[in-house]
Amino acid sequence: MMDAFGHLLGGFAVALQPAHLAYVFLGCLLGTVIGVLPGIGPAAAIALLLPITYGIEPTAALIMLCGIYYGAMYGGSTTSILINTPGESSSVMTALDGYAMARNGRAGAALAIAAIASFVAGTLSVVLLSLLAVPLAGFALKFGPAEYFTLMLFAMTSVAALTGPSLSKGLLAMFLGLMLATVGIDLQSGQQRFTFDLPELQDGIGFIVVVVGLFAIAEVFCGLEDLLKGQSEVVRLSGRLWLTREEWRRSMMPILRGTGIGFFKGVLPGAGATIATILSYSVERMLSREKEKFGTGMIEGVAGPEAANNASTGGAMVPLLTLGVPGSGSTAVLLAAFIMYGLQPGPLLFEKRPDLVWGLIASMYIGNLVLLVLNLPLVGVFVRLLRIPIGLLLPMVVSISAIGIFAVNGNIFELYLALGFGVLGYAFRKLAIPVAPLVLSLVLGGMMEQSFRQAMTISGADPGVFVRSTICIVLLAASAVALSIPFIAPLLRRLAVRSSAT
């Protein structure tokens, strides 16, 4: 505990430097602005804004990217409340009662409780992250190649099994990501694989290319398609932008419960923010004396899921920073940003660059405060962004995407690749195939293969190496449980329906 406190103090010394404070502010502002734009979630926001960080030193750049991450997570709630269009799946539950509150003339209160819940949950989750970071990073030092392989397998299978309606589609996305990760020169043998003699593919398929294509360009296609079919109405901001005493009283416990649920779910790979918000909403509905009023503008239905949504960002940083393994699409993009700056998150980063890791964690405390200060008075300004015509906005997203991709290697071939991934992303959405497993396995694929081959080489090609340690057995069992959930959950639901009918 004292260790963490000492490190955190050092982190604040880094985060409170004027330049870093400015980057926290800029990251939160840009993240909120991008998050407010319909359809563009945190992963796309980080990928699109990555070029802005080129030329900035790594600590400042990562502080800014993390600001973008939780700024975008928060920004999504504004579109949910005002136009009933969640920027991403984790804001869907906020829309249920948030939009209803806005229709009832309580848009201001809904936005205010979203900001307050985000602040409280975000801050508490960073406190938990600070406390867990040191012991978990110490534990992660025990990991060898076999443990890392099974950990990555667990992260991927959990995300594949829990992020879509069908296990086969989740697994398809996962294996496609792994397939893409094998393109390029094999690091252990120097052998070129699946490059079709194209020099542009020798270094593999750029992560930014895939993320920008799948998230940003695909969103342009979907957004313009929605435009053809008619747009959602923006509810005018009305009512007091503050809560009544009664609303305060009703919101406090949902915020605390949402924080606990969100943090715990955020730490687990795959479960992520979406399931945390659904769970939080269900818990609040279950505990309420006015269950039937949920969906008609209950403030508990906004406070709980919003807290869960933002607490999950702190939770998601735990495995990313301590183990170097992201558990969601957004943290996978953050991992790619770390790697781009020549940094590998994990236990060794805590030893080699404590200034960076703890500076980043300390910046999250400041970032949550910045978000609150920024969002309460400026919500009216952000709302105006929603009035920018989609027909003007989305074409600009394509140009920003082009700049972002071209700026990395100055390679036109990568622009065509991104366009191809944009079309693929559009097809994925139409066919309800989740994108997160593909992104996650693309980022982790290379490391996973290396761990697999190293473990097998050390053991003399004996696959038994993957069941020799307790950590491996626990992780393999957890992967099996994650893969069985899509089969077990419908059975349990049917049993519940039958028992309630009799």
Partner 1 sequence: MTQRPAASRLPAVLLLVATLATAAAYLRATLALPYPELADPLGPKIFPMLVSGGLFLCALLMVVDLRRAGDGRTAILLEGNQPFDTRSTLMVLGITAWTGAYFFAFERAGFVLSTAIFLAGLMHVFHRGHVVTNLCTAAGFTAGAWLLFTRVLSVRLPQGLLPF
CB 48 within 8 A of CB 216: yes
Please tell me whether residue 464 binds partner 1 under the rule CB under 8 A. Answer: no
Largest CA distance in the chain: 70
Is residue 241 a contact residue for partner 1 (CB under 8 A)?
no
Piece of the chain touching partner 1 by CB under 8 A; list 10-18, 82-90, 108-116, 178-186: 178-186
Residues that contact partner 1, how many (by CB under 8 A): 66
Span near partner 1 by CB under 8 A; candidates 78-86, 275-283, 359-367, 457-465? 457-465
One of 3, 5, 57, 168 touching partner 1 (CB under 8 A): 168
> Residue 247, interface with partner 1 (CB under 8 A)?
no
Can you tell me which of 50, 153, 167, 208 binds partner 1, judged by CB under 8 A?
Answer: 167
SS3 for 244?
coil
Q: Is the dihedral of CA 11, 16, 20, 24 positive or negative?
A: positive
Find the shortest distance in angstroms from Cβ 211 to partner 1.
Answer: 17
Helix or strand (DSSP H, E) at 143: none
Q: Which residues pair with 192 in a beta bridge?
A: 185
Give the residue carrying structure tokens 């709630």. 77
Smaller CB separation from partner 1, 10 or 51: 51
The single residue among 9, 142, 391, 489 that binds partner 1, judged by CB under 8 A, is 391
Q: Is 400 in the site for partner 1 (CB under 8 A)?
A: yes
Using CB under 8 A as the binding rule, whether residue 425 contacts partner 1 is answered as: no
Q: How many whole angstroms separate alpha carbon 109 and alpha carbon 81? A: 10
Q: In this complex, which beta carbon is closest to partner 1, that of residue 74 or of residue 421?
A: 421
Backbone angles phi, psi at 344, to 5 degrees: -110, 105
Rounded Cα gap, residues 167 and 95, in angstroms: 27
Stated as kind and residue range, the H or E segment containing 148 is helix 145-162
Q: Does residue 415 touch partner 1 according to CB under 8 A?
A: yes
9-36 in b/e form (b: 16+ CB < 10 A) is eebbebbeeeebeebbbbbbbbbbbbbb
CB of 64 to partner 1, least distance (A): 13
- Does 55 sit near partner 1 (CB under 8 A)? yes
Q: Residue 178, interface with partner 1 (CB under 8 A)?
A: yes
Q: Does 186 bind partner 1 (CB under 8 A)?
A: yes
Residue 438 beta carbon to partner 1: minimum distance, rounded to whole angstroms: 12
Query: Which of 104, 182, 288, 296 forms a contact with partner 1 (CB under 8 A)?
Result: 182
Tokens matching residue 290 = 């006015």
Of residues 331-390, which lie at the interface with partner 1 (CB under 8 A)? Answer: 389-390
Binding region for partner 1 (CB under 8 A) out of 30-38, 42-50, 179-187, 326-334: 179-187
Minimum Å gap between C-beta 301 and partner 1 is 23
Half-sphere exposure of 498 (CA within 13 A, CB side): 6
Phi, psi for residue 185 in degrees, rounded to 5: -80, 130
What single string gives the DSSP state of each residue in 68-83?
HHHHHHHHHHHHHHHH
Candidate list 3, 5, 22, 54; residue touching partner 1; CB under 8 A: 54
Does residue 430 interact with partner 1 by CB under 8 A? yes
Helices (H) and strands (E) in the chain, counts: 20, 2
Our CB check for partner 1 shows the closer of 90 and 375 to be 90
Q: How far is the CB of 390 from partner 1 (least distance, A)?
A: 7
Q: Letter for the amino acid at 269? A: P
> Smallest distance, Å, CB 182 to partner 1?
5
Residue 463 binds to partner 1 (criterion: CB under 8 A): no
191 binds partner 1 (CB under 8 A): yes
Nearest approach in angstroms of CB 479 to partner 1 is 13
Q: How far apart are the C-alpha atoms of 388 and 396, rounded to whole Å?
A: 12
**Segment near partner 1 (CB under 8 A), from 260-268, 276-284, 369-377, 428-436?**
428-436
Among 12, 58, 144, 175, binds partner 1 (CB under 8 A): 175
Residue 234, classified by CB atoms within 10 Å of its CB into exposed (0-12), middle (13-18) or buried (19+), is middle
Other CB atoms within 10 A of residue 196 CB: 8
Question: Which parts of 193-222 interact with partner 1 (CB under 8 A)?
Answer: 193-194, 217, 220-221
What's the number of CA atoms in the CB half-sphere (13 Å) around residue 170? 20
Q: Kindly give, in sequence order, each residue whose CB lies less than 8 Å from that of residue 79, ignoring residues fewer than 6 positions away.
A: 36, 37, 38, 85, 86, 87, 91, 386
Q: Whose structure tokens read 């948030």? A: 98
Report the interface residues with partner 1, using CB under 8 A: 51-52, 54-55, 164-169, 171-172, 174-176, 178-179, 182, 186, 188-191, 193-194, 217, 220-221, 224-225, 227-228, 389-392, 394-396, 398-400, 402-403, 406-407, 410, 412, 415-416, 419, 422-423, 426, 429-433, 449, 452-453, 456-457, 460-461
